Structure 1
């Protein structure tokens, strides 16, 4: 029987701004599951853009104002424990949850539609609107804790939830098939490298945009062709040559994506690390009959599909580096340098 302590170690976000707003604490109260929840002892937790965007108030549309700096466009309740990519073991359950779930190794679905045993009117992001996994223990609705049977390590499993579910959701929304030529921006990051594998699993022809130093890694993942992020895409491929753009970057190159797309084709986006404001000639959108998909909230079947891919060994973890939880600042600094391929993961409980 697992002895659950009253206090735990974890990282608390205490304000918006630089890394000094991340505070390592050893006396945080261990959360108590409500009736529909499970308590999870966290083994490993991945680092994401969302963590950093939330810390720096990047989501704010009012000049980094804390009033709308949360992922959902509202203020964060501080201090907040971040961390959405979580692998761990269920150690306790709420009154409405079967006790047989204790001992399950689980991955947490990061996009939530239930919290505190209540249905949510609009989705929450784990580690943003509620406390997440950068701590020894965390709670989540039992429906969002998916049992996983795999020989992969906890660190490897923690590389999957956010990136792979986001990628699968984008591909699903854009209805990618074996008939498609797919262009992926930001292809060496967590979502991008996941999208390469998942698009190839669907039989698509995949073109990955990356820095030249990462070409071999992305070709090994399954990309059919790689191209430099500084290249002129129109010169390289010609107008009306791409069926689907999976975009994680936006930025100054964005107008070329619409030129590349064939009439009647699809554009899916879930990130803007290259710049959130882009130039759109609205005539291109409607004259080419393009379909745009903003992809954040997961379709209901996406996370279960991800668990199935993992258990069947159809996708591979890509862990670039690991750090102990207390070295989160160093982990985020490496993450921000963007020299890695795949995920950076924090080791939490041993």
Structure 2
């Protein structure tokens, strides 16, 4: 089969980036309890870029990147029930979460390096990670949903306990998880406010259901956002750094802040009285359980929500797709089509 292969380990901090190779590799065979999926589409995540720079734990080579994918079942292994060849499916990239919904097993991992991922024509995957594709979704939309949709669902619904009428603040709109968080919160009846350095992205967010937004390059953006939103019942943060302090300032008394990333790095000069006098709830979140994946799919299907796809590239142009992601100009997900 054709696949994209990562072959080099890069020393973190070297600023070098590992090459990706488009080549022939053996087609996997499903074992007991596994399913072989003929992939139609895959999608990019920031994780894929971090791996190429050596900025991710547990990297092994050679391996096939890619966490998100959708396709058609080609073969089912022994003992698999509820699926058959020809079923259209989407893959949950949260591997071996375990029995405790509060946190994952020590053996938990994310699909795609070191476990061979979705940048390929075929993938073998445990049956528990395979879900029937919602009929209304295109192949591109289905591939866009898994990792970012699951992360957003756990952050907004499970951890954030979003309720109808809540004011939800999402900084840095445009990335995959932030965009899904907007869609999920809006579907739950929340009033969502966003930030971006792009007026175009703010306008697109409003089209998706946001109540408003501000440009964080504005000198007084925090005051402006506080004025139009009234403050946040819930903030969903992937930024960290100084932005996290701003979200604490924006939070209402008793508010919740859920963090799933820190693109700006550590939070410096955190004034703790602002946390405890406001009785804030600050929570970490990442990925999610199989049950949450099913709930996320059901929410999208019930409300016929369309995942936002920014651009589509053929698999062999994965380097161009990665460059597009690194530039950070996209709104929504970047998707790869898999050749026949």
TM-score by length of 2: 0.89
Does the alignment pair 1:94 with 2:77? yes
State the partner residue of 1:201.
187
CA contact (8 A) 1:114 1:141 kept: no
Q: 1:342 aligns with which of 318, 332, 339?
A: 332
Pairs aligned (count): 324
**Equivalent residue of 1:158, what SS?**
helix
Does the alignment pair 1:160 with 2:145? yes
| Distance in 2, Cα, partners of 1:120 & 1:287 | 34
State the partner residue of 2:286.
296
State the partner residue of 1:228.
215
State the partner residue of 2:266.
277
Shift of 1:201: 0.7
Q: 2:48 aligns with which of 25, 30, 51?
A: 51
Identify if the C-alpha distance between structure 1 residues 283 and 16 changes in structure 2 by more than 3 Å, giving closer, same or farther: farther
Does the alignment pair 1:14 with 2:2? no
CA contact (8 A) 2:92 2:290 kept: no
CA contact (8 A) 1:93 1:99 kept: no
TM-score by length of 1: 0.87
Identify if the C-alpha distance between structure 1 residues 264 and 337 changes in structure 2 by more than 3 Å, giving closer, same or farther: same
Structure 1 segment 1-350 matched on structure 2, within 5 A? 8-17=1-10, 18-26=16-24, 28-58=25-55, 69-70=56-57, 75-98=58-81, 100-113=83-96, 121-172=106-157, 173-210=159-196, 211-231=198-218, 232-238=220-226, 241-273=231-263, 275-279=264-268, 280-350=270-340
CA contact (8 A) 2:34 2:125 kept: yes
**Equivalent residue of 2:118, what SS?**
coil
**What's the CA shift string for 1:218-276, capped at 9, x where partnerless?**
11000000111223343214498211110122233221111111222111111222x22
Shift of 1:91: 0.7
| Distance in 2, Cα, partners of 1:196 & 1:46 | 19
| Distance in 1, Cα, partners of 2:204 & 2:82 | 44
| Distance in 1, Cα, partners of 2:253 & 2:83 | 53
CA contact (8 A) 1:19 1:329 kept: no
Gapped runs of 5+ residues in structure 2? 11-15, 99-103
